Structure 1
Amino acid sequence: MDEFNTYGKDLINLDWEGLLIKAGVTFLKIVVIILIYIMIKKLASAFITRLFLSFQEKNSISKGRAFTLESLTKNLVSYLLIFVLVVTILQTFGIQATAILAGAGIVGLAVGFGAQGLVSDVVTGFFLLLEKQLDVGDNVIVGNYSGTVEQVGLRTTQIRSGDGTLNYIPNREITTLSNQSRGDMQALVDVMISTENDIPQTLNVLQKVCDSIKKQNPLITDGPNVAGIQTLGTGTITIRIIAKTVNNEQVGIERLLRKEIKEELDRTNIKFAPSQLILAPK
C-alpha cells in the first residue's frame, strides 16, 4: 500500500507542464522535418526531370531510355532521402546517428549472406541499362513473358502483357532477353491457295496487292514482296509474303495484308485452299 501511495505521489509531483511542452516541441520538430523532406523530394524530382530533359536533347538518346534512367535516379534519391528522414527523426528522440550506423553495419553484416538475391537484382538491373538492352516502351520477350516495358527499377522490371497483366520480374531472373524494338520488324503472311489456281497469275495478283499497300502505307520500310511458294501440300500451295515495318507496326501490317489479299482473291476468283475435315476417333 505504501508503495502505491509513493508511486501516486511521484505521478502528482511530475512536471506535467514541462513534459507537455517537450512533447509539443518534439511533435512540431517532426512535422517540420517531414515538411522539409516533402519539399526537398519534390525539388529533387523536378531537378532530375529537367536534368534528363536537357541530357536527352544534348545527347540525342531515346525518350524511353531517358525516362528509364530518370526513374532509376529518382528511386535512388528517394531511398537516400528516406534514410536521412528516419535518422533525423530518431535523433529528435535522442538516439544518436552513430549508434544507428553502427547497428546498421552489424545488421547488414548479419543479413548480407541472405541478401545476395537483392544484390544480384541491383547489379543485373544496372547492366541492363548500361548495355542498353531495354528501355521503357520497348516490346520484349523475357522467358515466358512478353509485352511492353513499363519500368526498370533497382530490383524488378515491369512488363505489361498484351492482355493488360502487369508482370513484376526480378532482374536476376532476366537471363535471356529478346528486344523487338531494335530496328525494323518483319511482317510475314502465308497465303494458302488451291492447286487448281493458275500459279503465275496468282503470284502476279498478290504482288499487285503488295505494291498497292506499299504506296498507301508509310509504316512499311521495305516490301511487301511475294517471296514465292513456301510449301506444297495435298491440294494446297502456301505462298509467303514478307515486309519490313517500323517498330511495333508489324502486326497491323500483317492484318492489313490479309484483308487486302482476301478481298482481291475473291474479286479475281482465285480459290483458297480447301478446308480439311478432321474426324475425331470415337
Structure 2
Amino acid sequence: MELLGIQFNLAAIISFALRVGLLIILFILFIPIGKKVIVKSIQRAGSSQKVSPTRIKTLEKLLVNVFSYAAGFLFIIMLFAVLNIPIGPLLAGAGIIGLAIGFGAQGLVSDIVTGFFILLEHQLEIDDYITTAGYDGVVEEVGLRTTKIRSFDGTLNYVPNRHIEGVANHSRGNMRALVDMRISYHDNMDEAISVLERVCAAFQEDERFKDGPNVIGVQSIGSSEVILRVVGQTENGLQWECERALRKAIKEAFDKEGITIPYPHHVVIQKSN
C-alpha cells in the first residue's frame, strides 16, 4: 500500500508538472504569434485605408502592450485552474481590493483616460517632434499610461499622460526655415538685399523648399546692426538643415561682395585735466 501511495503521488506530481510545463510552452508560443498577428493586421488595415506610417506604428505598440497585459492575466487565471485554486473568491477579493485601491489611484485612471483621448484625437504619434509638459523631443512610444519622449540630447523621458497638456506638434505640415542676417550700418542695405535675393533664387530650385525662400526685408534695427530676414517653407524636419545651408551660402556671398557682419563697438571718451 505504501508503494502504491508513493507511485500515486509521483504520478500526480508528474501530471501536474506536465500540465504546468505544457501551459508555459503554449504561452511562450502564443505570445509571439499573437504579436505578429496584431502587427500584420494593423499594417494590412493601414495600407487598405491609407493610414500614415506613424499612426500604424503607434497603434502597433499600443495593441501589443495591451495584448501582453491580457495574455499575462489569462496565464495567471489558467495557472490557478491547473492548481485547482477556486477563481471565484479570488476575483471577488480582487474586486474589493481594486475598489479600495481605486480611491487612491485616481492619477492612474486619469493617465488611462487621457491616453485614450490622445490616441483618439491623433494629438501625437510615434516619431512626431513635440513640445509638451516641459519636454521637447521626439515621441518614441504612446501608451495608455505613459508617453516616452526622447530629448535631442538622448534623454528618454517617461511622461504620465495626465501631464500632457497643450501639445505643440511640430511634425504636422510644412515647417518654416527662418534666417536673420545682420549687416553693419556702414553697408548698403539695398546691395545686401540684392545679394540675399540672389542666394534665395538659387535655393528656390532646392527640392527641400516647398515655398521660397524669399527676402522679407529689414526685420529690425539694433544698436550696431541692421537685421535682414529670409523665410521659406520646407519639408517637415528639414527646416534646421535648410537654415544651416542658407546661413553658409549667405555668409559666403556677403564675404564675396565685401559686406561685413557687425560686431559690437565701444566708444571711449578720454578727458584730459
TM-score normalised according to structure 2 size: 0.93
Structure 2: where are the runs of 5+ without partners?
267-273
Matches within 5 A, 1:86-97: 86-97=76-87
Candidates 39, 64, 68, aligned match of 1:74: 64
Other-structure match for 2:270: none
Residue type of the alignment partner of 1:169: V
Structure 1: where are the runs of 5+ without partners?
1-11, 278-282
The 3-state SS of whatever aligns with 1:149 is strand
Other-structure match for 1:30: 20
Q: 1:24 to 1:276 in 2, by over 3 A?
A: farther
The CA distance in 2 between the partners of 1:257 and 1:143, in whole Å, is 32
Other-structure match for 1:139: 129
Candidates 196, 199, 205, aligned match of 2:186: 196
Other-structure match for 2:46: 56
Other-structure match for 1:125: 115
Q: 1:113 to 1:15 in 2, by over 3 A?
A: same
Deviation at residue 175 of structure 1 after TM alignment: 1.4
The 3-state SS of whatever aligns with 1:86 is helix
Q: CA RMSD in A?
A: 1.6
Task: Report the identity percentage.
Answer: 40
The CA distance in 2 between the partners of 1:74 and 1:253, in whole Å, is 38
The CA distance in 1 between the partners of 2:20 and 2:27, in whole Å, is 10
Other-structure match for 1:241: 230
Other-structure match for 2:31: 41
The CA distance in 2 between the partners of 1:232 and 1:169, in whole Å, is 42
Deviation at residue 161 of structure 1 after TM alignment: 0.7
Q: Deviations over 1:174-216 (max 9, x none)?
A: 012100001011111110110111111110101111111221x
The CA distance in 2 between the partners of 1:234 and 1:251, in whole Å, is 28
Deviation at residue 227 of structure 1 after TM alignment: 0.7
Please tell me whether residue 221 in structure 1 is matched to residue 206 in structure 2.
no
Candidates 164, 172, 186, aligned match of 2:162: 172
Please tell me whether residue 104 in structure 1 is matched to residue 94 in structure 2.
yes
Deviation at residue 112 of structure 1 after TM alignment: 1.0
Contact 1:125 1:154 (8 Å CA) reproduced? yes
The CA distance in 2 between the partners of 1:275 and 1:214, in whole Å, is 33
The 3-state SS of whatever aligns with 1:225 is strand
TM-score normalised according to structure 1 size: 0.90
The 3-state SS of whatever aligns with 1:118 is helix
The 3-state SS of whatever aligns with 2:15 is helix
